[in-house]
Amino acid sequence: GAGVSQSPSNKVTEKGKDVELRCDPISGHTALYWYRQSLGQGLEFLIYFQGNSAPDKSGLPSDRFSAERTGGSVSTLTIQRTQQEDSAVYLCASSFPGSENIQYFGAGTRLSVL
């Protein structure tokens, strides 16, 4: 597609449920990032995928968070046993691996945990 696509755009769930968020990067972009934006805050890095290399998971806040990237394209971020503090906008970005590393962002998934 023309840009980074994320789904769903909004997700409301109950505390304790698992959720899956999807990101479809720009075609040909080998790098993919997940960030979290809490209300009134900047973006917090979660995880980074580059090609077939092992992902950089250093930003994941707990072991309830995990992500996969299948076939070097689509990525799924999974949050298990959601908590109210997980409520945020989850943003995905993709880029070419050039030195400028221009990251292009999707519109995000707004997650609300009740």
Judge whether 20 and 76 are in contact, CB under 8 Å. Answer: yes
Token pair of 46 as six digits: 């979660």
For 60, the enclosing helix (H) or strand (E) is: none
Per rule CB under 8 A, is residue 72 in the interface with other proteins?
no
Range in contact with other proteins (rule: CB under 8 A) among 19-27, 64-72, 75-83, 98-106: 98-106
User: Cis peptide before 97, with omega less than 30 degrees from 0?
Assistant: no
Of 10, 12, 63, 4, the closest CA to residue 34 belongs to 4
Of 36, 106, 43, 41, the closest CA to residue 64 belongs to 36
Which one of residues 18, 41, 78, 114 is an interface residue with other proteins (CB under 8 A)? Answer: 41
Per rule CB under 8 A, is residue 108 in the interface with other proteins?
yes
Per rule CB under 8 A, is residue 40 in the interface with other proteins?
yes
Which one of residues 16, 57, 85, 102 is an interface residue with other proteins (CB under 8 A)? Answer: 102
Number of residues that bind other proteins (CB under 8 A): 26
Which one of residues 19, 33, 86, 88 is an interface residue with other proteins (CB under 8 A)? Answer: 33
Judge whether 16 and 82 are in contact, CB under 8 Å. Answer: yes
Positions in the binding site for other proteins (CB under 8 A): 4, 31, 33, 35, 40-45, 48, 50, 56, 59, 91, 93, 99-108
